[in-house]
Amino acid sequence: MLVFWKARLVLLAVPKTGTQAYDSALAPHAAMAVLDPPELKHAPVYRYNRFFRPMFDRMGAEDMELMAVVREPVSWLGSWYRYRQRGFLEGKPASTRGMSFDAFVAGYCEGQRPPFADVGSQAKFVEPRPNGTAVRHLFRYEHQDRITAFLEERLGLALELPRRNVSPRAELDLSPETEARLRRKCAADFEVWESAL
């Protein structure tokens, strides 16, 4: 999570949407860069609302605007699947080594997700709070040019995003049945992505 105090902007770090690249390029320009622990770096709207918003309000920044980036849900899950194939997870319950993408997504669609597919939800991450705290600027990961243009204008800087934390390549094939199940069970995630700029 990056806080740009003068610009009254908070960039929430939705996992698997290029957050390390944003951190690398923008942290030097931020008033506050929350990079650790992961629970705070990747604070969703509800956690921001509970812990950060009250503090900012007390400091006179009631008009802080939230920004987030969301990724097409199948692509987002593909990034998680590839990330969890890395060697450091081998032999651990979260590893996807030796597993097909279809099996990974089928696990994600379970009522109680197995550890390898327990990766959260983008829709839940950006879900508005009853008090009105919500993401005002929601962008699609696939539209990097729009994200860059918005940040450059809002922050008054030239932005060059490095490639960071790129997961290994892997086949991302889904059976029609598994994809249909994903779209049915996770309709909110597809709706959030479709609603983004």
State the CATH number of the domain containing residue 166.
3.40.50
pTM of the predicted model as reported, rounded to 2 decimal places: 0.92
On whether the CB atoms of residues 72 and 152 are closer than 8 A, the answer is: no
Q: What is the pLDDT of residue 71?
A: 97
Q: What pLDDT digit, counting tens, does each position of 33-85 carry?
A: 999 999 999 999 999 999 999 999 999 988 999 999 999 999 999 999 999 99
Which pLDDT score, from 0 to 100, does residue 170 have? 73
pLDDT value, residue 168: 61
Range of the domain at 41: 2-195
Could you say which DSSP state residue 30 is in? Answer: -
Phi, psi of 59 (to 5 degrees): -90, 10
pLDDT, averaged across the chain: 94
Residues in the chain with pLDDT values less than 70: 163-168
- Through-space distance between the first and last CA atoms of the chain, rounded to whole angstroms: 20
Please count the structural domains in the chain. Answer: 1
Please tell me the distance from the alpha carbon of residue 9 to that of residue 143, in angstroms, as a whole number: 19
